[in-house]
Structure 1
Amino acid sequence: MSGIIGCISFSGENVYPSLIEGMYGLQHRGQDSVGLGYYIDGKPEIVHYPGIIGDCSYPVVSTNSGIGFINYAFTEEKKSQESLPKIINDTVVAFDGKCSSDSDVAYAHVSIKPTRLMCSRDTYGIKPLIIGKVDNTWIVCSESCVIDTLGGTIVRDVKPGESIIITKEGMHCSDTVVTSHHLCLFELVYIARPDSHIDEISVYGARIKMGHYLYEEKPTEGDIVVGSPDSGMIAALGYSQASGITYQKALVKNRYITRTFINNDDVQRKQSIKIKLSVIKELITGKRVILVDDSIVRGSTIKRIVKLLKEAGAKEVHIRVSSPPVLFSDNVSIDIPKKEDLLCYGKDLDAIRQEIGCDSVYFLSLQGLKSACGAQKFYTQYFDGKSPFKGENK
């Protein structure tokens, strides 16, 4: 779930400004630390900083090639691992993901030298990786939104199992070895920015359809539809479109609080939730509220929102989630180390409803979610316990 950007120019341009701007475009993918790797007079240098890119006093340099890395660390164990990028044999290297058991590879990789940029994607295509150009600068990054923000042109997604080398002569592609395409479904549910396209799937369009399918599966009477900021708001708009129930932005988010799901400190996460959201009471009082969220993992945020809505005078609060319950641990994509950390683990819908404190709760079916995203195969270990590596529950 981390973010990578690699930039290289073969005509003398300084890619460093693009590198920094691109890292801002990937900040939603992690907030634990940032790393930079680049070449000065042909020699590699790396720097690492805790926190987010906007908090860093990073050096101002001129370089024709470099890598930026946004780190997501769910656990203290991950937080203590070696920072990226790193230098291996005078090459700057970074990757999003990890190697799984049985020598299966499950990460997106980018490495760079002054004369070439290399990238590769795991044979299942779990992690996203895309190539673009801004004038004479080649860019490889985790999401297309970065290339768009920099004013560039999308070349194409890196294919599952593909390795690519970019030199001054152009792009050289290996034969693609596709085991079976399994893009991480949580990318489309939560991780990716809505203005991104991943494997030619519009993240925004998929989230709108999630809301449509959610209403079709569980029509519910209500007075207003409200989205949980920020990642639930697009599905909420889709739910409103399908149901005809008015959509209202009744929850106000403090824009200076970063994403609480990816905070690995439980105390800090709960404190952030308290100051993250507030309610526009006149929109809520006496209303039957349909609250749409993208997912429920630990449940801390959704509990807080329901409490806020009830305190604001909501007559009823019905939770509608645009993905299935997260029930299984995962160490490839969203790093859930223990099933016991999950709110939905071992509970039926009524028990979940009672824990959240709402009047009803419903989760979009896995088939409905897949249909909203194009009905292809996806990585879904956290929803159904099925891994493409093993094909069985864990």
Structure 2
Amino acid sequence: MSGLIGCISFQNEDVIPTLIKGIYGLQHRGQDGIGIGLWLDETEVIFHHSSTIDTMNPVDIHASVACAMTRYAFTNQKKKEPMMPIRVDNSLIIEDGKSRLDGDYAQAQIKISPSSMICSRDLMGIKPLVLGRIKKTWIVASESCAIESLGGSVLRDIMPGETIVIDENGLKSLQSSKHHQPHLCLFEMVYIARPDSTIDGQLVYQCRQQMGHELAKEHPVNADIVVGSPDSGMIAALGYSEETQIPYQKALVKNRYVNRTFINANPSERNNHVQIKISVVSRLVKGKSVVLVDDSIVRGTTIKHIVKLLKEAGASEVHIRVSSPPVLFADNLSIDIPNPKNLMCHGKTEEDLIHELGCDSIKFLSLEKLISSCHQPHFYTEYFDGKSIAEDGGYYGKDI
């Protein structure tokens, strides 16, 4: 998983300040490293940094074309891979995604040369990519929030299978002859994307809120308060509260200086991060029956710790409600979900999960209602249902 941004100006404007600010808007997509590439005349300049943008020394160079990426490394092997950008012929390239031996690929790419920027999105549109402008500078980014946070204008999503060439002659769009329905990675809407982003015409915030409404319709429960797992479960929790009229309480407080935990490849580091990541406002939960809404359960480290915290704070009951289906399958195409044996829900019944998590009940939103909440007919969902997308747009299954 990565965040991409590219900028180019043909009025000799310095795009570096815009690029750096845009990286801040994409930091949620990767905190394991940053790569920046730019051209000075015909000479490439590449910077690599192994942490977040706020810890990086200033880039004190004037450039009219540049690109950058943030990266999450899901595995220790991934952490050892070289950081982009890389040079290929006369271009610097950054990518979000990967290809597989079976021919599937999910990839957004930005390629810059001294005089042009070329951006492309995979045939199925699994990875997002958005086009915008700020004054006379063209911007392409993984999410619209990176462009809007700069005061820029979002022009449109780059379409599945589309390649856009931006040079001194303007913008040219090239569409692949293979046309498919968009199949955005559904985890973008559930967890990855920032809630103020719009992807393929859908505002992420509204989709997550609707997930909460649908979750409440499918799995109501008698309780005193609704609590959202910070941060990505909080919007669905609001929707659940609105639908059930059970009061919403912000009873969980997140330490803002701890990275996203399910992505951490090291189990001991993941557990340590969780322990300092979240605390409970005890007065809000003592003696109460709590609906705990989370966006997803992958490894289960965070949700297990939250249940323990709520019970220790005096909650009489904790009912887990998840605004997505159980994550049952490995996925090495879109977001590198680990081996299925490391997934909390793999091979377990609801009774197994109740016992392991220490909760009083657990229910998941159906895939049908999750998709309908996002107002698009098709999504990439292999980690939920084991179905990969074939080249002809059909599906083929995978055993659990």
2:74 alignment counterpart: 74
Contact kept, 8 Å, 1:31 with 1:263, in 2: the verdict is no
1:108 alignment counterpart: 108
Cα distance in 1 for residues equivalent to 2:309 and 2:23? 34
Matched, 1:320 2:321: yes
Instruction: State the 1:375 CA deviation.
Output: 4.1
Where does 1:1-394 land on structure 2 (aligned, <5 Å)? 1-176=1-176, 177-389=178-390, 391-393=396-398
Cα distance in 2 for residues equivalent to 1:202 and 1:131? 16
Secondary structure at 2:377 match in 1: coil
Instruction: State the 1:161 CA deviation.
Output: 0.5
Secondary structure at 1:374 match in 2: coil
Secondary structure at 1:332 match in 2: coil
Find runs of 4+ consecutive structure 1 residues off by over 4 angstroms: none
Cα distance in 2 for residues equivalent to 1:316 and 1:93? 51
Contact kept, 8 Å, 1:8 with 1:114, in 2: the verdict is no
Instruction: State the 1:261 CA deviation.
Output: 2.0
Secondary structure at 1:174 match in 2: strand
Number of equivalenced pairs:
394
Instruction: State the 1:309 CA deviation.
Output: 0.2
Cα distance in 2 for residues equivalent to 1:69 and 1:209? 31
Cα distance in 2 for residues equivalent to 1:359 and 1:104? 41
Task: Using the TM superposition, name which of 360-369 and 54-63 deviates more.
Answer: 54-63
Contact kept, 8 Å, 1:297 with 1:344, in 2: the verdict is yes
Instruction: State the 1:87 CA deviation.
Output: 1.0
Q: Deviations over 1:221-256 (max 9, x none)?
A: 110000000000000000000000000100011111
Contact kept, 8 Å, 2:16 with 2:59, in 1: the verdict is no
After TM superposition, the score normalised by the length of structure 1 is 0.98
Cα distance in 2 for residues equivalent to 1:292 and 1:24? 28
Cα distance in 1 for residues equivalent to 2:33 and 2:21? 16
Secondary structure at 2:370 match in 1: helix
Instruction: State the 1:104 CA deviation.
Output: 3.4
Cα distance in 2 for residues equivalent to 1:192 and 1:152? 19
Residue identity in the other structure for 2:186: L
Cα distance in 2 for residues equivalent to 1:90 and 1:55? 30
Q: Kindly report the root-mean-square deviation, in angstroms, between the aligned alpha carbons of the 2 structures.
A: 1.1
Residue identity in the other structure for 2:124: Y
Secondary structure at 2:214 match in 1: helix
Identity of aligned residues (%): 54
Contact kept, 8 Å, 1:250 with 1:279, in 2: the verdict is yes
Instruction: State the 1:58 CA deviation.
Output: 4.4
Instruction: State the 1:180 CA deviation.
Output: 3.2
Contact kept, 8 Å, 1:115 with 1:167, in 2: the verdict is yes
Is there any run of 5+ residues in structure 2 with no aligned partner, and where? none
Contact kept, 8 Å, 1:44 with 1:90, in 2: the verdict is no
Cα distance in 1 for residues equivalent to 2:80 and 2:181? 32
Cα distance in 1 for residues equivalent to 2:88 and 2:34? 19
Is there any run of 5+ residues in structure 1 with no aligned partner, and where? none
Secondary structure at 1:355 match in 2: helix
Q: Deviations over 1:206-234 (max 9, x none)?
A: 00000000000011111000000000000
Cα distance in 1 for residues equivalent to 2:290 and 2:224? 6
Q: Deviations over 1:340-380 (max 9, x none)?
A: 01000000111011111000000000001001011411000
Cα distance in 2 for residues equivalent to 1:128 and 1:375? 14
Cα distance in 1 for residues equivalent to 2:84 and 2:337? 21
Q: Deviations over 1:180-210 (max 9, x none)?
A: 3210000000000000000011100000000
Residue identity in the other structure for 1:381: E
Contact kept, 8 Å, 1:31 with 1:262, in 2: the verdict is no
